[in-house]
């Protein structure tokens, strides 16, 4: 049998599950079963034997079949409000892509004279679009949209300047890294953010949209700044001809028509959604308790996302499309259902880790190995562990698996949950070394322009830098 990655997973998953079953002989039956199921799923996720979402369903199904979960409650997370938030925000992103609003924003930024003055400034323009868009739109959609534009500009520069092949590689890596870094800034920016928020809510720690931004945005801005300085080192070695790039961007911009109604509707609905997402946090800051309670209850993040999606289905995008909405049922079929289903099935798995007592037991085990009084060292090790595990598996899958375990560790040593969990969740998006780690990495690697060795070498430095930055911010927040 040919030992492909899939076949290795098929062989290794049951073997790993059996080994864990025998090693965990001292655990209660439920925790022992869940440990074996989790390691089975982890191997399946890492080797992508079947779609990621189906692995999560398989794990829950196994738990039902061996009697550690009840069928009536096992799949309840598929109806979780955060699933609705996912669906709504994905449809909003789909409307941007369908009507070309995302590309228009990118071309508007890049057509500014400031960004055309040097190679680094051009890179700053691309990376800034990627960073800002990924705060509100799926980071994979952001990178997929920017990729053709980036390739067009860099191929132009590379043909004209000897030795600037490296510039093309670092431009592509830059848009991928900027999307991952920008995605941590808002609750909807990256799936691990939503996972962390939900697990914290289960422990009675509630975070609104603005609170998350106030905590995560300083981390993302600092990491983005560090990435820019790092890329400047590489890009400063390459030549540049301003006029060639200026001509290319003008050619691309001339292909765009004036703003269509579909773009205006999408922009209007998007602005409304952002205002409603941020409103409860601002009302809370200003001390309007009754208004805050009203907005939090009736305009929760998931309610706003679904409302935005429904408005896009209801409002027609112009006379030429009478009878149709700004998005249609075709768009519903094109959103990332694999991630949505992975979230639902994965949250059910994560809940089993907590309810079976496995999270608490792993927490006790870790506190025996690491001195719990060394809080900073503990946070750094947990962040580094999650960050490098994410390199070989989906960041969503790692968040689902390890956030409940880390909550167990923190509860065991009576440490506040909020900031360390925030740090670990951010670490899930800070994996920069391998294509499988995050969707943006996979997309730019798929362009066949980025050598794997360059991605590993460049990403390793950013991984270590990211782990240090996260630890520093968590320590700072804990001290406040």
What is the residue-wise DSSP string for 275-312? HHHHHHHHHHHTT-HHHHHHHHHHS-HHHHHHHHHHHH
Q: Is the pLDDT of residue 466 over 90?
A: yes
What is the distance between the alpha carbons of residues 85 and 455, in angstroms, rounded to a whole number?
32
The residues spanned by each domain of the chain are 1-71, 81-333
Nearby residues of 252 by Cβ (< 8 Å), 6 or more positions away: 107, 149, 152
Q: Is 480 strand, coil or helix? A: coil
Number of Cβ within a 10 Å radius of residue 275? 11
CA 243 to chain centre: 36
Instruction: pLDDT band for 439, please (50, 70, 90 cuts).
Output: confident
Counting beta carbons within 10 angstroms of the beta carbon of residue 329, is it exposed (0 to 12), middle (13 to 18) or buried (19 or more)? exposed
Q: Which two tokens stand for residue 396?
A: 């969503």
Q: Which residue has the higher pLDDT, 101 or 238?
A: 101
- Model pLDDT for residues 323-356, shown as the tens digit of each residue: 688 888 888 888 878 777 877 777 777 778 777 8
Tokens 């439920």 -> residue: 30
Average pLDDT, the chain: 83
Counting beta carbons within 10 angstroms of the beta carbon of residue 26, is it exposed (0 to 12), middle (13 to 18) or buried (19 or more)? exposed
Give whole-number Cα distances, 94 to 11, 16, 266, 404, in Å.
38, 39, 10, 31
Q: What does the DSSP 8-state code read for residue 116?
A: G
Sign of torsion, CA 306 308 314 316? negative
Average pLDDT over residues 117-123: 82
Q: What does the DSSP 8-state code read for residue 318?
A: -
Instruction: pLDDT band for 277, please (50, 70, 90 cuts).
Output: confident
Counting beta carbons within 10 angstroms of the beta carbon of residue 287, is it exposed (0 to 12), middle (13 to 18) or buried (19 or more)? exposed
Tokens 């520069």 -> residue: 157
Of the ranges 119-128, 341-350, 391-400, which is most confident? 119-128
Tokens 């289905």 -> residue: 313
Q: What does the DSSP 8-state code read for residue 321?
A: G
Q: Which residue has the higher pLDDT, 3 or 326?
A: 326
- Which pTM was predicted? 0.76
Number of Cβ within a 10 Å radius of residue 181? 33
Q: Which residue has the higher pLDDT, 444 or 272?
A: 272
Q: Which two tokens stand for residue 32?
A: 């022992």
Task: Give the pLDDT confidence score for residue 163 in this predicted structure.
Answer: 45
Q: Which residue has the higher pLDDT, 102 or 283?
A: 283
Q: Is the pLDDT of residue 164 over 70?
A: no
Nearby residues of 213 by Cβ (< 8 Å), 6 or more positions away: 185, 186, 278, 281
Task: Give the pLDDT confidence score for residue 165 in this predicted structure.
Answer: 47
Q: Is 180 strand, coil or helix? A: helix
Tokens 């800051």 -> residue: 285
Give whole-number Cα distances, 459 to 139, 170, 176, in Å.
17, 11, 11
CA 181 to chain centre: 9
Sign of torsion, CA 331 332 333 334? positive
């Amino acid at each position: 049998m040919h030992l492909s990655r899939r076949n290795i997973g098929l062989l290794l998953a049951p073997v790993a599950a059996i080994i864990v079953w025998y090693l965990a002989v001292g655990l209660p039956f439920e925790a022992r079963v869940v440990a074996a199921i989790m390691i089975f799923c982890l191997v399946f996720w890492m080797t992508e034997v079947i779609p990621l979402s189906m692995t999560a369903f398989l794990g829950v199904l196994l738990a039902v079949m061996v009697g550690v979960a009840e069928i009536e409650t096992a799949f309840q997370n598929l109806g979780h409000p955060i699933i609705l938030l996912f669906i709504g925000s994905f449809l909003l992103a789909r409307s941007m892509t369908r009507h070309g609003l995302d590309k228009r924003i990118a071309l508007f930024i890049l057509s500014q004279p400031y960004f055309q003055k040097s190679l680094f400034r051009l890179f700053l323009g691309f990376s800034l679009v990627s960073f800002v868009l990924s705060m509100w739109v799926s980071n994979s959609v952001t990178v997929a949209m920017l990729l053709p534009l980036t390739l067009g500009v860099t191929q132009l520069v590379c043909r004209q300047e000897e030795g600037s092949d490296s510039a093309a590689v670092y431009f592509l890596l830059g848009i991928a890294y900027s999307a991952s870094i920008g995605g941590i800034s808002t609750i909807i920016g990256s799936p691990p953010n939503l996972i962390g928020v939900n697990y914290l809510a289960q422990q009675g720690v509630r975070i609104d949209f603005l609170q998350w931004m106030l905590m995560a945005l300083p981390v993302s801005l600092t990491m983005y700044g560090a990435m820019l300085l790092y890329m400047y080192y590489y890009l400063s070695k390459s030549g540049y001809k301003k006029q060639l790039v200026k001509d290319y961007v003008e050619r691309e911009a001339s292909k765009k028509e004036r703003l269509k109604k579909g773009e205006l509707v999408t922009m209007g609905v998007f602005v409304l959604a952002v205002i409603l997402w941020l409103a409860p946090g601002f009302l809370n800051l200003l001390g309007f308790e009754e208004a805050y309670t009203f907005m939090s209850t009736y305009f929760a993040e998931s309610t706003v996302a679904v409302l935005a999606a429904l408005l896009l289905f209801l409002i027609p995008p112009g006379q030429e499309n009478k009878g149709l909405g700004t998005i249609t049922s075709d768009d519903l079929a094109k959103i990332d259902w694999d991630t949505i289903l992975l979230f639902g099935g994965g949250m059910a798995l994560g809940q089993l880790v907590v309810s079976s007592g496995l999270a608490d037991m792993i927490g006790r085990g870790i506190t025996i190995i690491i001195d719990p009084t060394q809080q900073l060292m503990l946070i750094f090790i947990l962040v580094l562990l999650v960050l490098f595990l994410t390199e070989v598996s989906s960041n969503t899958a790692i968040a689902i698996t390890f956030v409940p375990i880390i909550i167990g560790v923190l509860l065991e040593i009576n440490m506040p949950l909020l900031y360390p969990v925030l740090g670990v969740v951010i670490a899930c998006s800070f994996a920069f070394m391998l294509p499988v780690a995050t969707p943006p990495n996979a997309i730019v690697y798929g362009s066949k322009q980025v050598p794997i060795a360059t991605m590993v070498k460049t990403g390793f430095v950013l991984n270590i830098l990211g782990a240090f930055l996260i630890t520093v911010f968590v320590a700072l927040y804990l001290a406040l």
